[in-house]
Each structure stands twice: as C-alpha cells, then as structure tokens.
Structure 1
C-alpha cells in the first residue's frame, strides 16, 4: 500500500494508519488461510480444512471493523480526494 500523507490532525493520520494496518493484517490472515486450505486439500486433512473454516470468523470480524472505521472517517472527517479514494477503496 502507498504511504499515507501527513495531515494537520495527528488523530486523522492515526485513524488512516489504523485502517491501513488492519487491511494488512487481514491480508496476512487471508494469505495464511489460503496456504492452510491448499495444504488441507492436498493432504486430504479434513481437520485442517475445518480449522480454516472456523478461522474465517477472524477475517469476517476484521472486515466489519474496517468497514465501520471507514464509515466513521467519512462521516466525521469528510476526506478530500486522495484520502477519500483510500477509504472508499478499503
């Protein structure tokens, strides 16, 4: 992801950075799940496949948290062009 530009409000910068960090965290979880799902498929490991399915709730919760945070930023901060694209793309 691109670096976040500095703003006058440190709180705003912190909010944007938090979104960025959560998206990266979610991406890491998804990457791990894909790897484990492929291993489960190749090895025929049903237990591992079920564990991957159970872990999907972590990704779902993180997605909801990110969506809520983006909506709050749009409502409170009314981001300008570049920041709006960042928040909307997430």
Structure 2
C-alpha cells in the first residue's frame, strides 16, 4: 500500500486501497461516473463510499428484502396495490 500526505492536514494521509471487481461491474461504474459529471473514477468511488458511511440507507436485511423484491418484479411475481395494502394493513392510497 502506498501512502501520501494530503497537505491540508498533516495528520490525514491518503492511502491507496486495492480491490477486485468484475470487468462488467467496472464498466457500469465507468458509465455511471462519466454520466454524473465526476472528474474521475477515483473521485466517484470516494464520493460514493463517503456517502455510504455518512448516510447509511439500508441494513443487510433491508437490502436482502429489496433484492428479493427486485427479483419478484423481474420474474412477474407481483401483487396489486390493493393486495399490498391488505397484506401490510395500510389504508394509504
């Protein structure tokens, strides 16, 4: 791992982190950062990681439920809004 001082704060250091991705996922990342106006892949990844740490949205169970719901939609296993209201006991429309 290589390290470099940021200059803004003598105690903060930039540390290089290496990780592996599939090429297809890296292509998706590249399409995303370029489409959203980031200057580089690294800038986009830092922003995304910082955002995930500062504003965690899902816990693991919620993420699993979301992925299962996506699979249900993809395979046509969906329910009507009325069925969902009955299942979850809400009257919101």
> Shorter-chain TM-score category?
under 0.3
Structure richer in helix, relative to its length: 1
Structure number with the bigger relative contact order (C-alpha 8 A, sep ≥ 6) is 1
Larger Rg: 2
TM-score of the superposed pair, with normalisation by structure 1 = 0.25
Structure richer in strand, relative to its length: 2
TM-score of the superposed pair, with normalisation by structure 2 = 0.24
